[in-house]
Amino acid sequence: MNFKRNYIQSFYANEFHSEENPKTLDIFSPHDGSVLAKLEITSTSTLDKIVAQAKTAQEKWASLTFKKRSEVIYKYRELVIRYKQELAHLIHIDNGKTLKEAVAEVEKVVELTEFACSIPQLVSGETQMVSRGIIAREERRPVGVFGIIAPFNFPLMVPNWSIPNAIALGNAVILKGSELCGLSASFMADLWKQAGLPSGIFNLVNGQSEIANAMINHPEIDGITFVGSTEIAKLVHKNASNLNKRVLALGGAKNHIFVLKDAPIETASSEVLAAALGMAGQRCMAASVALVVGQNEEFIQALIEKARKFKLDFDLPPLVSKASVDKLVTYLNWAKEQGAKILVNGITDFLIPENKKEGFWFGPTIIDWSEIPEKMGSQEVFGPILEIIRTKNLSEAIKIQQKSPYGNAASVYTQSGRAAEEIIAKVKPGMLGVNIGVPVPREPFSFGGTRSSKFGYGDITGKSSINFWTNLIKVTTKWNPEDKQDWMS
């Protein structure tokens, strides 16, 4: 099996295919800026061909029993486990995250796939005699063909939020991974083929906004999932909804962590920093803002000391692109102009590895706000920046969080059950944590935020995602013609 391709093509009909007149994009190494591979852009005419094949294949796939479909999902899970190290290495070079973080991503894919294997036990319908001689039942049927538009930050995990569940429930999928990270998605195609998935059920297209828009607007694609910025998520949701598609578009975040005076300094400082800096802050669940309640300089000093010990590449991976670095530099300069103190500076305080000077590096950064500009609360930074806001009391801290337009996640570090429950009751996000920095729900619980962090129908993982991937069909039958006729006859 080819673990690393230098040239990445579209995948359909269970094979990789090239365009007649190919156009390509370069995939750059986040570590040193070198070109890792060429990504061939999928044309809209090829997309039409892929969709037509997927529609035909999906009808046959949906006619199989859950048991038959689950056999393929089980084999896919076994292959992900078998090739865990190879997949992790691909993610490491493709996305830039540390090898440890990449291994954790693959392990999460295993967990997601195991949930998909359990779906047959979760979708058995109900049957009931609703009137004399009248039987009603419910059953779930697949929606059809889904377009999956995935981001760069979890090139393997985020597609697998959707794909195993969608396939297990009888749908076909067309994945467009990020143009910044194409290696992982390419290898995923190999795994599905080796698992025995029939031709046309998993498909891969490549490119930028043009192919994504073609997927959203395609009349034969029945549903869309998207993960990315709030600005684009709104557009995806609006455009797909106008075409009466099933759509779920996950947007950005500005996640707050409340740190109360009674929180253990050592544990809280380490875990808040890990939540902020893990994957160089390039995740929608990253801790963006520490709301430090009451006088707690000891906690802030612990953050500073620990952040300064980070080593680029060993502890903190690079960003995915030069554009990401430029965005953070702009934000840091803006924060200075607004009067913020820079307690740890990711540009000046850290050494770039000697042989990786051309990589996309930005070190741990801590910004201390005395006054909060309105713009600060609505900007998703998406980098290794932790912003500190001191508050006099818990009520003030809660009001700051409530003003955020986002609703992805929030956490609190405290020993007070009463304080934790007050925060849980009053803040707006869809995923909340107590004494945990990154409150990602584990299967069978569902991943999903609120407000400007999510647009559309249901959740993307877990039990509640079943509603998204299926239509609930209601069947009413009468087999006794001698029964007295009623309004249902």
Where in the sequence numbering do the catalytic residues fall?
A: 284
The partner residues of 255 in beta bridges, in order of sequence, read: 287
- Is the distance from CB of 441 to CB of 431 less than 8 angstroms? yes
Going by C-alpha positions, the residue among 219, 258, 254 that lies closest to residue 240 is 219
Helix-strand-coil percent breakdown of the chain, rounded to 5? Answer: 40, 25, 35
* Token couple for 21: 């007149």
Output the DSSP codes for 276-299.
HHGGGG-STT-EEEEEEESS-HHH
CB atoms < 10 A from the CB of 124, how many? 11
- Is the distance from CB of 12 to CB of 50 less than 8 angstroms? yes
Question: In a 3-state reduction of DSSP, which class is residue 56?
Answer: helix
Reported residue count of the chain is: 489
Backbone angles phi, psi at 105, to 5 degrees: -65, -45
End-to-end CA distance of the chain: 60
CA atoms within a 13 Å half-sphere pointing along the CA-CB vector of 340: 25
Residue 134 makes CB contacts below 8 A (sequence gap 6+) with 476, 477, 478, 488
